[in-house]
Amino acid sequence: MALSVPGYSPSFKRPPETLRLRRKRGRSLGTASAPAEPSEPATRRAARAAGLPLRPFPAAGRGGGGGGGGPAGARRNPFARLDNRPRAAAEPLEGPPRGQQEAPGPFLDSNQENDLLWEEKVPERTALTELHQTPHISFSESDIPPSESTELPVDWSIKTRLLFTSSQPFTWADHLKAQEEAQGIIQHCRATEVTLPQSIQDPKLSAELRCAFQQSLIYWLHPALSWLPLFPRIGADRKMAGKTAPWLNDETLQHVLMSDWSVSFTSLYNLLKTKLCPYFYVCTYQFTILFRAAGLAGDDVITALISPTTRGIREAMKNEGIEFSLPLIKQNGHEKRKVSGTGLRHGEEQAVSDEDEEESFSWLEEMGVQDKIKKPDVLSIKLYPSIHEVQMDHRPESVVFVKGMNTFTLLNFLINCKSLIATTGPQAGLPPTLLSPVAFRGATMQMLKARSVNVKTQALSGYRDQFSLEITGPIMPHSLHSVTMLLQSSQNGSFSAGLYTHEPTAVFNICPPKDEVLDKEAVHEELANCGLHPKTLDHLCQTPILGKLSLRHVEMNDYIYNWRS
């Protein structure tokens, strides 16, 4: 039978009796000598001598027994740091209270949510922390002009939703007549230039405005499967789950779909090369590609931007002989660090690596089995990618820039690339989505969805009418510019808009180095038949200035734009 030890608590369910007696003895001593200061522990005296800020020593004012004593000071937490002193009542907080934090704009909530979803794919913890701390980083702050101007900066990202608000109604955009709808389609197919007055008195009676609005909503898509959402493709598995996919187990049907897609892709590139198509997008389940004709964005040759990329894709492109650059890596100085590194020359680095190799196998010699075990090849045990190449995968910094004849090599690479199409999941066997502002072989005409809503908003004098116009779908740069030009006339130069960006395409607003400055008049003459309005063409010829940002909020007052990115 075990002996009963005083102060012992079986299974440590209760504190030992000795600790209770020690606490009680300290309290009784403090009560007996209330005016006197309690003795300081040696650790507290040492901390005070070192100059560390300390909490006030707990006062011994706790009454005993019946609880008739006065309130005592809070006993210090023994697990707290010495400098963890309580905050004084008058001491201001480090940041604003949680309920009083600066609220973002009404249109930024979903954009921030998209940013977080987009950044969840970043594998590196440190890189993710940096992204959260600085969600939007441009090339340099000096490149961004003042937010007020008569023209918007060009935005090459694809928008998924536009929400316009105004004090004047948008009823003119609803319920187009059959003749107006047909006229808008004909104007789009014939690339008819429509010029509206600066201000329209009664937009609802303006058939010209309604036809032009119908014209601005048209885009071209391939493939076209009405029961499947074909944009966006990145992160669309959840939306496509459960949808009918007859090609999943039919290799013949998959081959037919890919063959038709290759014909459409080649047709688009030929239109781009002959400057009959200004630009187009290729949307895969892994990345998005923007092809631009020569003359747009200040480039004198055909260009292509791919984002996001992985080391595997970049290595495959290198193996195919495609020359490309990483504009953001060069801008951020990673290449300089890669070249200079730690300051070692190539020979010194080789010597260091050889020494490390010898040390790594020295334990075999100590065991005496170095001759019985074959050493692995040096090349097979070296990590091929550098650290920053791995960290930038799936991030905006991994954007790839291809130009000139390398875009044609990229075309052939994409047509023959087996990893372009998913092999598992809801998108398995489905070719990438092609988006274009003009018609091409195998394309289907599609319409952006538009609807107007009238709501009552609270004001100082009661309630006032607030009118809104919502446009959803793959909204390309030419559509954004065309719609804002129409609203400038219909809303008398006064409206605001929230722009929701497909985050993987925001990095398309970077500006790679230019070889020369182009002649705008020559560019306009060469791209006159590309199917865009002359003002829209002039807008897309601008040099991008947003960097990795994209337009998030636009407001027009008295025909002056005020925008935020």
How far is 172 from 456, CA to CA, in rounded Å? 19
Pick from 11-25, 42-56, 512-526 the range whose average pLDDT is largest: 512-526
Amino acid at site 491: Q
> Residue 312 contacts by C-beta under 8 Å, 6 or more apart in sequence?
419
Is 125 within 8 Å of 131 (Cβ atoms)? Answer: no
What's the whole-number mean pLDDT along residues 520-532?
Answer: 90
Cis peptide leading into residue 223 (ω within 30°) = yes
What's the whole-number mean pLDDT along residues 509-514?
Answer: 89
Task: Please count the CA atoms within 13 angstroms of the CA of 323 that sit on its side-chain side.
Answer: 4
Count, residues in the chain: 565
- What are the tens digits of pLDDT across the range 240-276? 988 888 998 899 999 999 999 999 999 999 999 999 9
| Per-residue pLDDT at 26 | 56
Residue identified by tokens 């504190």 is: 15
**Does 332 score more than 70 pLDDT?**
no
How far is 19 from 9, CA to CA, in rounded Å? 11
| Per-residue pLDDT at 437 | 97
**Does 530 score more than 90 pLDDT?**
yes
Is 179 within 8 Å of 472 (Cβ atoms)? Answer: no
- What are the tens digits of pLDDT across the range 336-346? 433 333 333 44
- Mean pLDDT estimate for the chain: 77
Is 323 within 8 Å of 315 (Cβ atoms)? Answer: no
Q: In the numeric block, which tokens belong to residue 349?
A: 């680095």
- What are the tens digits of pLDDT across the range 136-194? 333 333 344 446 788 899 999 999 999 999 989 999 998 899 999 999 999 999 999 99
For the residues of 400-438, what is the DSSP string, one character each?
EEEETTHHHHHHHHHHH-GGGS-SSSTTTTPPPEEEESS
- What are the tens digits of pLDDT across the range 429-480? 999 999 999 999 999 999 999 999 887 777 777 777 889 999 999 999 999 9
More confident residue, 132 or 393: 393
Q: pLDDT category, 109, cuts 50, 70, 90?
A: very low
Q: Calculate Rg over the CA atoms of the chain.
A: 33
What's the whole-number mean pLDDT along residues 473-495?
Answer: 95
Least confident of 37-41, 211-215, 300-304, 542-546: 37-41
Q: In the numeric block, which tokens belong to residue 551?
A: 């337009």
| Per-residue pLDDT at 361 | 62
Q: pLDDT category, 96, cuts 50, 70, 90?
A: very low
Is 279 within 8 Å of 290 (Cβ atoms)? Answer: yes
| Per-residue pLDDT at 513 | 83
Least confident of 107-121, 159-173, 371-385, 465-479: 107-121
More confident residue, 114 or 223: 223
How far is 541 from 523, CA to CA, in rounded Å? 8
- What are the tens digits of pLDDT across the range 398-426? 999 999 999 999 999 999 998 899 999 99
The terminus-to-terminus CA distance of the chain in angstroms comes to 78
Pick from 72-76, 329-333, 498-502 the range whose average pLDDT is largest: 498-502
How far is 403 from 512, CA to CA, in rounded Å? 11
Q: pLDDT category, 362, cuts 50, 70, 90?
A: low
Is 438 within 8 Å of 530 (Cβ atoms)? Answer: yes
- 8: DSSP letter: -
Q: Which of 556, 439, 480 is nearest to 198 (CA)?
A: 556
- What is the reported pTM? 0.68
Is 147 within 8 Å of 563 (Cβ atoms)? Answer: yes
Question: In terms of DSSP bridges, do strands 449-459 and 462-475 run parallel, antiparallel, or are they unpaired?
Answer: antiparallel
Is 280 within 8 Å of 272 (Cβ atoms)? Answer: yes
Percent of the chain with pLDDT over 90: 49
| Per-residue pLDDT at 64 | 44
**Does 116 score more than 80 pLDDT?**
no
Give the distance, in angstroms, between the CA of residue 192 and the centroid of all CA atoms in the same chain.
36
| Per-residue pLDDT at 51 | 65
How far is 454 from 465, CA to CA, in rounded Å? 7
| Per-residue pLDDT at 131 | 35
